Amino acid sequence: PLHPHTPLFISHALIKAQAKDYVRETQINLILQPIINELTTQFGSLENLSDYFAQILSNLRGKTPKETGYAAGNTLNLLHHAQIELSGFDFSGLTLWQAYLQGVHLHNVNFSNSDLSHCVFTETLGNILYTTFSPDGHLLVTCDTDCNVRLWEVKTGKLLLICQGHTNWVRFVVFSPDGEILASCGADCTVKLWNVSDGVCIKTLTGHGHETFAVAFSPDGDILASASGDRTVKLWNIRDGYCIKTLVGHTDWVRCVAFSSDGNIVASSGADHLIKLWDVESGECLQTLTEHQSWIRSIAFSPNGQILASGSGDRTIKIWNYETGECIKTYTGHTNSVYSVAFSPSGEILVSGSGDRTVKLWDCHTHTCTKTLHKQTNEVCCVAFSPDNQTIACVSLDQTMRLWDYPSGQCLKTWQGNTDWALPVTFSPDGQILASGSNDKTIKLWDWQTGKCLLSLQGHTDFIYGIAFSPDGHILASASTDSTVRLWNVNTGKCFQILQGHTDWAYTVAFHPKGEAIASGSADCTMKLWDWHTGQCFKNLIGHTDKIFTIVFSPDGQILASASADQTVKLWNCETGDCITTLQAHDARVYTAIFSPDGQTLATCSTDQTIKLWDWQTGKCLKTFTEHTNWVFAIAFSPDGQTLASASHDQTVRIWDVKTGKCQHICIGHMHLVSAVAFHPEGKIIASGSQDQTVRTWDIKTGECIRILIAKRLYEGMRITNTKGLTDATILTLQSLGAVV
């Protein structure tokens, strides 16, 4: 094999960072790994090998790029694949061409004055929710839970631009037909238009009274249609930004919208299981298609305009003659909800993405499934065809986006996101430990008084959305989007039990006050009661019609409350498993429900931006708190029940007097959406978790921040001063992941 002291080591890259995924994997297996194997044998230990590579870098320093060539980039790739700790390595002033650094921990690595051309880094933070190609196929645009729109170069995978301006999750983005404008929409109820050339926002279209879920340009680019949770579709004049028409007729959230190829008809569909076809000129509803049995998340007209395809939560895809209203064919084969459908530019193939983690290709002539792509690592929420008819982009809900060569079924490129978004936070019963769960698949146990991370609990294969301590504080339970609940020994950090049975994301977990049972709630719309000693589920509670975000026991352990995306809170008898009461709690998703310490009052919060207090026995709403200006994600009562704390996507934590309903303090400091809040057992401190990757503690008397807890991010302390070869957008993202300019 090639040795690092041969001329080839300088003149040739051992792996090409920007090569197609399957090519790079072959290069690693056939070139890189044999070199590592021989060097390991030769040097006897990783420590000796590390010293050898450090010597190579030292010898390269001070030489011209022509003299050093690919040597530094090759060394970095060898170090990583030899599993040598990279922390503290000095690559300053070197040409690091073709280094593949996506997902690689680069703590305190020095790249100052280096040339990082053609290197690949982790470049996304939040979950990507949607993607589509530009009309010429050269660009790809994504939108995400990080509230950004990002523009990528398809050939190199390079991040070109970040469009910033949305104040909540961006759900959908699309190019204008001429490729010069982007339209995006999202949970902040707005539609924004952006210049593709520089990422500047041209217009913000306001008027929807709820989240906007989808937008579509007319074929001539003059009109934009938007679909919203306010049950309407709006048609906008692009030039002046005015709403031309509001199409009214849906009875629930409108999730998607599409124009026919001639631009005369706009189709819309959503949570009411209906597809409606509207005349663009008159605004009249021409046809309602009614055969789906669940919400419809995606619709697409064929390029020739003859048929319409729809994907639904009923696990089917339907092909329609939309002029007659006849369903021509129903495609079955997906084993979970169909989130996305798209036609190939030729119209001969339909691609579908599903919650079953597969992508399927369907022949539109024979109506048969011709290929299934299985390598997606989570639910597939979006699929898109490139204009060249060869490539499919697929977005999974685990921060990955992949490009596939669909004729061969080979993966060409993967973008892997990374964030330590602190979702749930909770104090141990004795108040000594603060636990936080994260998008990075770990749970951190903190000494909150010193800010030191005591333990990192690793084992979940996906995001952690729920955590709870047992009443004695010895056990921590965690609920994850890998559909499992894990039980951990707090002292050792070891997982000793996995509770399996949910068929979809597990969002929430709670211990019974006596500590013998655990309850969990899931996106599969069920709650389960478990004997944690045996890992057996002994009761299944069914009644919600959408995902369950929070479950909580009453202080006496007799009642269980559940908050759901179906806009209700249900109260259950723990003994019998019967639903006692259903509160029509909010006008939008209910994220949290909690009992007051005396068990008399129930507090709820929602994406409708309100907090409500209830007498749960009578079902009467006692008080509504309305000062937050964005989704309220989490709430917590103080131990004495006199104070309520709330966490919101408006980036604040608020402290409320329960009796008067007055806001006593607004805690300001988080730089991103705040998603979690918890009281210390003594009631003087609250903790909050945010998408800014920090946990903060606050003094409830003053509302001031006491301490910021932050785990080491992927590129913590990595120096990129005066580097070459990085776009401004990439530098911005690397800084978010801990890099220092």
Residues 455-493 have pLDDT tens digits of 999 999 988 999 999 999 999 999 999 999 999 999 999
Any idea what the Cα angle at residue 164 is, between residues 635 and 101, rounded to 5°? 95
Residue 633's SS3 state is strand
- At residue 82, the pLDDT reads 93
pLDDT tens for each residue of 403-455: 999 888 888 998 887 766 778 999 999 999 999 998 788 999 999 999 999 99
Q: What is the pLDDT of residues 29-88, one digit of tens each?
A: 999 999 999 999 989 888 999 999 999 999 898 899 988 999 999 999 999 999 999 999
Is residue 619 scored above 70 in pLDDT?
yes
Written as one letter, the residue type at 489 is N
Q: What is the C-alpha to C-alpha distance for residues 55 and 34, in angstroms, rounded to an integer?
A: 21
- Taking only the tens place, the pLDDT of each residue in 251-281 is 999 999 999 999 999 999 999 999 999 999 9
DSSP label of 115:
B
Query: What was the pLDDT predicted at 302?
Result: 96
pLDDT at 2 (0 to 100)? 57
- Quick: pLDDT tens for 291-339: 999 999 999 999 998 999 999 999 999 999 999 999 999 999 999 999 9
Residues 603-619 have a mean pLDDT of 95
Predicted pLDDT of residue 400 = 87
Q: Decide: 287 and 322 in contact? Cβ < 8 Å.
A: yes
DSSP 384-452: EE-TTSSEEEEEETTTEEEEEETTTTEEEEEEE-----EEEEEE-TTSSEEEEEETTSEEEEEETTTTE
**Residue 4 binned pLDDT confidence (cut-offs 50, 70, 90):** low
Average confidence score pLDDT of the chain: 93
Residue 243, beta-bridge partner list: 236
Q: Please, what's the b/e burial string for 276-292 (b: 16 or more CB within 10 A of its CB; e: otherwise)?
A: bbbebeeeeeebebebb
pTM for the model stands at 0.85
pLDDT at 5: 66
Higher pLDDT, 544 or 421: 544
CA nearest to 547, candidates 494, 505, 581: 505
Q: Is the pLDDT of residue 399 over 90?
A: no
Q: Directed axis angle between helix 33-43 and helix 46-60, to 10°?
A: 110
Residue 377 has pLDDT above 80, yes or no: no
In the block, which residue shows the tokens 């934590």? Answer: 653
pLDDT band for 545, please (50, 70, 90 cuts): very high
In percent, the amount of the chain with pLDDT more than 70 equals 99
Q: Percent helix, strand, coil in the chain (nearest 5)?
A: 10, 45, 45
